[in-house]
């Protein structure tokens, strides 16, 4: 579904990603973990071209990412993205947030877009918040609307960029539950997170990144119980206390 | 708080009264007093009545110039503002050139320049184009016949003011667009929207809400600067006042009346802008 080959991304002289290759199969959940500044978010943002790779190749569902704007928009419509800061549109209601891209990108008529939007709100567990503006919702509710907004486009892949890092602790679970549900339904997902519990429960593969490189990649069982690299052991000893 | 207010002494009541008295909008009361005095003059003093009648003939022109110029300025400013945030170097540099030239020129000089340099230059270009196309359109086609005289001084004044303020509004719109967080554009783009779709549906609706108060203030400034068109002989209220003064030498009466007319319009408008600002501030949807 996603193939990344020798991805390099530099910001000025800073190498954020230093040659990463990664394959995500259909229906797989890949969780990327690592210390801050390790380049994990940058890899994610390169997949839907929010960052332009310095070099390397990325394929999404058989389509190669190029600089052609039409192609990029087409790929983005197939790749849902959930941000740390939610990034809901504050001037639109929850329902309108979910309907807008369906209307202007997928060209669905208002009725169908609304039907799908309500179904997605139901799926993330807050159908009663359809008419609320983002400012009237809690962080957890906002993030669930953001997930519904991405799902309404029928994406083939979902990318999560630290989706719970900006949430109060009591709201983290409601968002993770939605994501777990999604993983069980067979959605292909790439998740950057610090939630080790989620990584252990939902991931098919765990990728550990440090200093712009993949240090270690393994199944959750092997990764947590039997890490191969010294750097991984050190990291795990710091986060699993 | 409750304990403090329950032990209020007579002297602090007096203190509160003085404080409240000091907070009244005295400036407005004084201004209204001056206005009422003038109004009394308009009703009883024959000279004032005549002057008011003369100046009122220009009011339609003043309002027309302000409304039309400002409408065009909003459009020009929006386009130039989008150009100022564009990643395309050609568009960015053209927009920046325009804004910097406008901001570096006094409006008065710009009005003269548009009226007597740019407009004739435009028409000699059009005439030249007509000569060039003569084999196609005939020797006396509409392009060769077009002349600078076809555009009245009123028209040139409106165009000059519109493009002057277009430059200022461009910066207002640029600031508004850049005040919207980067995540909004990223979220829109990640859903597959093009840059222009994201601008239209996500960024601009939020940015416009934020720039409404400064736009209102600029509208008031435009009303005042519309007086500059009098230098081209356009008969707005300022020009009517100048004409009357030139014949009658009634300086105080005429300019009292002129100031009264501008102030009554600008004060009312600024109160409206304040009201709009307060309402936008109340509902939190404008912020992201």
CATH (domain of B215) = 1.10.3720.10
Per DSSP bridges, beta strands A205-210 and A157-161 are: unpaired
Residue A68, chain B, CB below 8 Å: the answer is: no
State the pLDDT at residue B6.
47
Residue A101 forms contact with B (CB below 8 Å): yes
Residue B187 has its nearest CB partner, among A73, A79, A83, at A83
Confidence of residue B2 (pLDDT cuts 50, 70, 90): very low
Three-class secondary structure of residue A25 per DSSP = coil
Question: Domain containing B187: what range?
Answer: 62-232
Per-residue pLDDT of chain A (241 residues; tens, 9 = 90+): 899 999 999 998 888 999 999 999 999 999 999 988 888 999 999 998 899 899 999 999 888 887 777 778 888 888 999 999 999 999 999 999 999 999 999 999 999 999 999 999 999 999 999 999 999 999 999 999 999 999 999 999 999 999 999 999 889 999 999 999 999 999 999 999 999 999 998 999 999 999 999 999 999 999 998 889 999 999 998 887 6
* Helix boundaries (H) for chain B: 2-6, 10-23, 26-44, 46-56, 59-84, 89-104, 107-113, 119-132, 134-137, 142-145, 153-178, 182-190, 195-198, 204-225, 237-248, 251-282
The answer as to whether B36 is a domain residue is no
Report strand pairing: A205-210 vs A213-218: antiparallel
Quick one: pLDDT at residue B10? Answer: 56
CB contact under 8 A, A91 and B184: no
Q: Are A81 and A159 in contact (CB under 8 A)?
A: yes
Asked if residue B31 is part of any domain, the answer here is: no
By C-alpha distance, which of A83, A66, A84 is closest to A75?
Answer: A66
Domain assignment present for residue B197? The answer is yes
Cβ atoms of A165 and A1 within 8 Å: the answer is no
Give, in order, the Cα–Cα distances in Å from B28 to each of B23, B175, B219.
12, 32, 21
- Tell whether B4 is covered by a domain: no
> Does residue A83 contact residue A161 with C-beta atoms inside 8 Å?
yes
Task: Kindly state whether residue B115 falls inside one of the protein's structural domains.
Answer: yes
A162 and A151 Cβ atoms separated by less than 8 Å: no
Determine contact: B184 vs chain A, CB below 8 A.
yes
Provide the whole-model pTM.
Answer: 0.85
Distances (CA, A) of B88 to A72, A239, B95, B139: 18, 45, 11, 41
Q: Report if residue B187 sits inside a domain.
A: yes
Q: What is the ipTM of this complex?
A: 0.91
3-state secondary structure of B1: coil
Residue-wise pLDDT for B236-247, tens only, equals 999 999 999 999
> Which of A48-62, A119-133, B5-19, B167-181 bottoms out in mean pLDDT, i.e. has the lowest?
B5-19
Q: Is B209 on the interface with A (CB under 8 A)?
A: yes
CB pairs under 8 A between A and B: 71
Residue B227 lies in a domain: yes
| Residue B218 forms part of a structural domain | yes
Probe site for chain A from B191, B199, B202, B210 (most A CB atoms < 10 A): B191
Say whether pLDDT at B11 is over 70.
Answer: no
Classify the C-alpha dihedral B227-B233-B239-B242 as positive or negative: positive
Q: Could you give the number of structural domains in chain B?
A: 1
């Amino acid at each position: 579904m996603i193939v990344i080959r020798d991805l390099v991304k530099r910001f000025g002289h800073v190498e954020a990603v230093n040659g990463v290759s990664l394959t995500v199969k259909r229906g797989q959940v890949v969780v990327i973990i690592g210390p801050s500044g390790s380049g994990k978010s940058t890899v994610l943002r390169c997949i839907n071209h929010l960052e332009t790779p310095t070099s390397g190749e990325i394929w999404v569902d058989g389509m190669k990412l190029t600089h052609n704007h039409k192609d990029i928009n087409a790929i983005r419509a197939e790749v849902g993205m959930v941000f740390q800061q939610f990034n809901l549109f504050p001037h639109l209601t929850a329902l309108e947030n979910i309907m807008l891209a369906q209307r202007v990108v997928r060209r669905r008529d208002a009725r169908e877009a609304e039907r799908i939007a309500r179904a997605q709100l139901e799926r993330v567990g807050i159908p009663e918040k359809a008419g609320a503006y983002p400012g009237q919702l809690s962080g957890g509710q906002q993030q669930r609307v953001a997930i519904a907004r991405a799902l309404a486009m029928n994406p083939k892949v979902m990318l999560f960029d630290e989706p719970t890092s900006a949430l109060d602790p009591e709201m983290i679970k409601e968002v993770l539950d939605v994501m777990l549900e999604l993983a069980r339904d067979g959605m292909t997902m790439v998740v950057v997170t610090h939630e080790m519990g989620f990584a252990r429960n939902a991931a098919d593969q765990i990728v550990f990144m440090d200093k712009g490189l993949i240090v270690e990649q393994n199944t959750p069982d092997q990764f947590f119980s039997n890490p191969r690299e010294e750097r991984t052991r050190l990291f795990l000893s710091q986060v699993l206390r | 708080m409750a304990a403090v207010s329950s032990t209020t002494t007579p002297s602090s009541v007096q203190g509160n009264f003085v404080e409240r008295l000091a907070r009244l909008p005295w400036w407005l009361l004084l201004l209204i007093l001056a206005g009422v005095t003038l109004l009394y003059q308009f009703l009883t003093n024959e000279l004032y009545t005549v002057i008011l009648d003369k100046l009122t003939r220009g009011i339609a022109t003043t309002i027309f110039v302000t409304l039309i110029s400002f409408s065009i300025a909003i459009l020009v400013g929006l386009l130039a503002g989008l150009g100022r945030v564009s990643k395309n170097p050609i568009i960015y540099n053209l927009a920046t050139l325009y804004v910097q030239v406008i901001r570096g020129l006094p409006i008065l000089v710009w009005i003269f320049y548009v009226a007597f340099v740019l407009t004739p230059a435009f028409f000699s270009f059009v005439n030249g184009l007509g000569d060039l196309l003569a084999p196609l359109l005939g020797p006396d086609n509409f392009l060769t016949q077009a002349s600078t005289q076809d555009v009245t001084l009123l028209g040139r004044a409106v165009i000059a003011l519109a493009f002057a303020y277009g430059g200022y509004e461009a910066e207002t719109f640029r600031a508004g667009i850049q005040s919207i967080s980067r995540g909004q554009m990223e979220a829109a783009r990640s859903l597959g929207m093009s840059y222009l779709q994201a601008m239209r549906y996500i960024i601009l609706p939020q940015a416009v809400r934020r720039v409404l108060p400064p736009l209102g203030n600029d509208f008031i400034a435009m009303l005042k600067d519309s007086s500059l068109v009098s230098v081209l002989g356009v008969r707005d209220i300022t020009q009517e006042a100048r004409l009357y003064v030139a014949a009658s030498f009634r300086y105080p009466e005429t300019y009292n009346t002129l100031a009264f007319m501008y102030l009554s319009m600008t004060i009312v408008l600024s109160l409206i802008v304040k009201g709009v600002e307060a309402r936008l501030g109340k509902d939190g949807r404008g912020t992201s």
